[in-house]
Amino acid sequence: MSLKVRPTAARLSRQELAQAVARDIASGSYANLGIGQPTMVADYLTPEQNVTLHTENGMLGMGPKAAAEQVDADLINAGKVPVTELPGASYFHHADSFAMMRGGHLDVCVLGAFQVSVTGDLANWSTGEPDAIPAVGGAMDLAIGAKEVFVMMSLFARDGTPKLVQECTYPVTGLSCVTRLYTDYGIFHIVDDAGRRRPQLVEAHGLEPAEIQERLQIDLVGM
Amino acid sequence: MPQFAETAAEAVADVTDGATVLMGGFGNAGQPMELIDALLDSGANDLTVVNNNAGQGDAGLALLIKERRVKKIICSFPRQSDSWHFDAAFRAGEVELELVPQGNLAERLRAAGAGIGAFFTPTGYGTELAAGKETREIGGRNYVLEYPLGGDVALIKAMYADRAGNLAYRKTARNFGPVMAAAATHTVVQVEQLLPTGSLDPEAIVTPGLYVDIVTVIETRTPSAAESERHPAVRPHSQEEGVRV
């Protein structure tokens, strides 16, 4: 299955990346957006998409960030930022909130990453450096629990090292869990290719597909 | 039936050195700040603390860690921009950390309260946080064996209690409160308001009084009468009781 992918002129900005993720969230989904960059995706979801946002600290139907006069210390998101409540919202305790994830009730989650492997292993909770203080939060539960796991990250680290890799060198968060990878230079679907999970490039931005494959030093499906 | 303490100090007076203390709250929402301050004043030492985080800023759990009263913390997300007291204690090797994925933390607490001996969860399989743990393949999926996490004491915060100890929470401040109330031998609750028995709608009570041992009233935000009327757990026109009992 060969896909003709024509690259756009420039790589995607962070805003365009968030927009691309938002566009791909199916209408009517229950979704969890991780802290950091994934939070931006909410800005690009349209009312017509009718997406219900879950926050790990016990809420479905989370609304936008609270304006100054709306701030309520009892109403925050996973990043501890004051948020608002939409009609149809519900509150529940932590064990229920994580049962929703683990039990496969969320349609999609969007997470950031240090690395993603060709088979969809995710590394996003620890750099493994000796002096680093690790923090995992709900990342491992989301990674294995949501039906679809979308990751958004830059394709290359600041020093140019690829972050889509043959095998993660950072400590993993979950195995074979990433379904789609959204990066500045391209969008990948991790697909089943003859019984093996492998990335397929579905959009290229600012680089030719052949150049992306060359710089990543990995085999992409259909290339 | 629950007992009612006049002050936070009285409410935490039975916490002994070496106790395992479950502390509610996610960030500052639902964190029983005044009970934790009272625990600091009580001098209780060598504590094992279970909380989602490892203290924020210069208040509550952060101060307990700063004073080196916590020998071990079991949490999911210790590192934050304002977790400087934990960071310093950890780097100095003066506090032990057990890092637990957040869903495992919640479910281990739930299991302790529900009398479950252990459970298999897919969370963490194949990661460092499952290293050395028993695993099993069930129905083609890999799981990790996790054990319950109970406490000697739970310190939690709720919005309302009635005289029977029934609790109602507010918005995302509910978080770990209900599971911790069930997981501890001795559950201490600080509430904004105490109402007469019968004032809370039985359909809307989240934590039944059976889980609650001590209630103390600490007003931190003073809900107005109008707000109380609007809270779904409070029956219309229920008579408010004084804030001190």
The residue behind tokens 């802290």 is: A35
Which helix (DSSP H) or strand (DSSP E) does residue B111 occupy? helix B102-114
pLDDT by residue for chain B (245 residues), tens digit each? 899 999 999 999 999 999 999 999 998 899 999 999 999 999 999 999 999 999 999 999 999 999 999 999 999 999 888 999 999 999 999 999 999 999 999 999 999 999 999 999 999 999 999 999 999 999 999 999 999 999 999 999 999 999 999 999 999 999 999 999 999 999 999 999 999 999 999 999 999 999 999 999 999 876 666 676 688 899 886 655 544 33
In the 8-state DSSP scheme, what is residue B31?
-
Q: What region does A81 belong to: left with phi over 0, alpha with psi -120 to 50, or beta?
A: beta
Q: Is B169–A91 a contact, with Cβ atoms under 8 angstroms apart?
A: yes
Whether A43 maps to a domain, the answer reads yes
Q: Write a three-state SS string for chain A.
A: CCCCCCCECCCCCHHHHHHHHHHHCCCCCEEEECCCHHHHHHHHCCHHHCCEEEECCCEEEEEEECCHHHCCCCCECCCCCEEEEEEEEEECCHHHHHHHHHCCCCCEEEECCCEEECCCCEECCCCCCCCCCCCCCCHHHHHHHCCEEEEEECCECCCCCECEECCCCCCCCECCCCCEEEECCEEEEEEEECCEEEEEEEEEECCCHHHHHHHHCCCCCCC
Whether A223 maps to a domain, the answer reads no
B175 touching A (Cβ < 8 Å): yes
- Considering only alpha carbons, which residue of chain A is nearest residue B54? A135
Within 10 A of A194 (CB to CB), how many other CB atoms are there?
6
B217: nearest Cα among B241, B243, B242 = B243
SS3 A204: strand
Partnered with residue A32 across adjacent β-strands are A54, A109
pLDDT at A48: 96
Whether A143 maps to a domain, the answer reads yes
Q: Is A141–B29 a contact, with Cβ atoms under 8 angstroms apart?
A: no
- Amino acid at site A123: A
Kindly report, residue by residue over A142-189, the tens digit of the pLDDT: 999 999 999 999 999 999 999 999 999 999 999 999 999 999 999 999
Q: Is A137–B128 a contact, with Cβ atoms under 8 angstroms apart?
A: no
The pair of three-digit structure tokens given for residue A100, joined into one six-digit string: 């929703």
**How far apart are alpha carbons A42 and A135 in whole angstroms?**
24
Kindly report, residue by residue over B91-128, the tens digit of the pLDDT: 999 999 999 999 999 999 999 999 999 999 999 999 99
Please state the domain count of chain A: 1
- Considering only alpha carbons, which residue of chain A is nearest residue B27? A80
Q: Is B124–A80 a contact, with Cβ atoms under 8 angstroms apart?
A: no
Q: What is the CATH number of domain B3-102+149-230?
A: 3.40.1080.10
Nearest beta carbon to residue A140 from set B90, B107, B123: B123
B177: nearest Cα among A55, A69, A93, A109 = A93
**Residues of A with active-site annotation:** 56
Which residues does chain B have within 8 Å of residue A117's beta carbon, measured at their own beta carbons? none
Which residues does chain A have within 8 Å of residue B101's beta carbon, measured at their own beta carbons? 136-141
Task: Beginning with the edge strand found earlier in the chain, give each strand of the sheet holding A122-123 in spatial order.
Answer: A122-123, A115-117, A164-165
Whether A84 maps to a domain, the answer reads yes
Q: The domain spanning residue A109 has which CATH number?
A: 3.40.1080.10
String of DSSP letters for A114-166: SEEETT--EE-S----TTPPP--TTHHHHHHHSSEEEEEE-SB-TTS-BSEES
Whether A4 maps to a domain, the answer reads no
Nearest beta carbon to residue A141 from set B30, B101, B110: B101
Q: Is A98–B103 a contact, with Cβ atoms under 8 angstroms apart?
A: yes
The pair of three-digit structure tokens given for residue B221, joined into one six-digit string: 């935000």
Partnered with residue B53 across adjacent β-strands are B77
Interface predicted TM-score (ipTM) over 0.90:
yes
The domain limits of chain B are: 3-102+149-230
pLDDT at B244: 39
Whether A113 maps to a domain, the answer reads yes
